[in-house]
Amino acid sequence: MVSGGIRNEERSMRMAPDEQPGSGLPAKRPVKVSAGARAAFVRTGGKKFDELLNGGFPMRSKILVQGAAFIGKDLFLNQFVAEGIKNGAPAIVVLTQSTTSQVRKKIVEMDPALEEHEKLGLVSYIDCYTKTAGLIGKNPFAIYLEGLGDLSGLVSAIERFQQGYGKSFFYNRVVFDSLSSVIRMHGINPTLDFVNSLNAKMTAYNSTALFDLAGGIHAPNEINALESLMDGVVTLKEDRGKYLVSIKGLANVKSREWLEYSYNERYIDIKGIYSYSYIQ
């Protein structure tokens, strides 16, 4: 069984301890957790981020996470994955600019039991990068695609895991890293169609999704178009030596000001002490 239990706001279904899936999908004989109120929010993994969000991201929300490299954005995405699997909520990780092996090394910093959770069927990878880099993928819980040329095939691959999780879990998490690669290959309009198609699947399968977007390389009209398809936007930036975050678009956010955050290899969170409607 997954250690640490399953929080009320992240109720799922558990597998029996003797079930060991071999394809990244949940086992066929889940053991249901006792009935209770359905989850309203999905925790980010950062305590003060969750306080700011009044509990976390709303269930089934689609969030655009934008910002430059080397300011903790990847950590924010990986922490979201780790928070879920440590508490029994499965995750689908879509990779377009790094290998499964590279991302696993980062996630394991936050979840040392990652390999155990993979064997329990709590993590699935869709790797669109490894083969394009001329490498051979060997992770048994990953699907290795031939790049991003076939977007409909990518949607189908994501849905395959969502269908499997839907049989055994109340909800799942999806991290898409990154939409910038899709825009670079296909242009903005096909990317918008692709995201629209994905969003319909996210809602149908109770997925809460984070979409990465690189900062500083996209035209304002492209960013605005993508934001219009999302329920919320998390923007990270560096300003005069400080790391700042702003969250907009979600009704449950208690402050829309730029707030300072800090991060290390294992954790990212807002600095200061949370108090009522702001971080001070």
48-70: per-residue pLDDT in tens? 999 999 999 999 999 999 999 99
The model's confidence at residue 274, banded by pLDDT at 50, 70 and 90, is low
In angstroms, the Cα distances linking 184 to 58, 128, 153, 157, 218 are: 30, 14, 18, 21, 10
Q: According to the model, what pLDDT value does residue 40 have?
A: 87
Which CATH code for domain 8-279?
3.40.50.300
Chain segment 223-261, per-residue pLDDT in tens:
999 999 999 999 999 999 999 999 999 998 999 999 999
pLDDT at 138 > cutoff 50: yes
The residues that bridge with 144 in the sheet, in sequence order, are 127
The model's confidence at residue 20, banded by pLDDT at 50, 70 and 90, is very low
Chain segment 66-124, per-residue pLDDT in tens:
999 999 999 999 999 999 999 999 999 999 999 999 999 999 999 999 999 999 999 99
Tell me which H or E stretch contains 156: helix 151-166
pLDDT at 37 > cutoff 90: no
Q: According to the model, what pLDDT value does residue 77 have?
A: 98
Q: According to the model, what pLDDT value does residue 273 have?
A: 58
Pairing relation of β-strands 41-42 and 57-58?
antiparallel
The model's confidence at residue 39, banded by pLDDT at 50, 70 and 90, is low
Instruction: Report the distance separating Cα 256 and Cα 253, nearest Å.
Output: 7
DSSP calls for 92-148: EEEESSS-HHHHHHHHHHH-TTHHHHHHTT-EEEEESSTGGGT-----TTEEE-STT
In the chain, what percentage of residues exceed pLDDT 90? 82
Q: Are 251 and 41 in contact (CB under 8 A)?
A: no
pLDDT at 18 > cutoff 90: no
DSSP 132: G
pLDDT at 205 > cutoff 50: yes
- The beta strand positions in 202-241, using DSSP E, are 207-214, 232-239
Q: According to the model, what pLDDT value does residue 276 have?
A: 42
Q: According to the model, what pLDDT value does residue 272 have?
A: 80
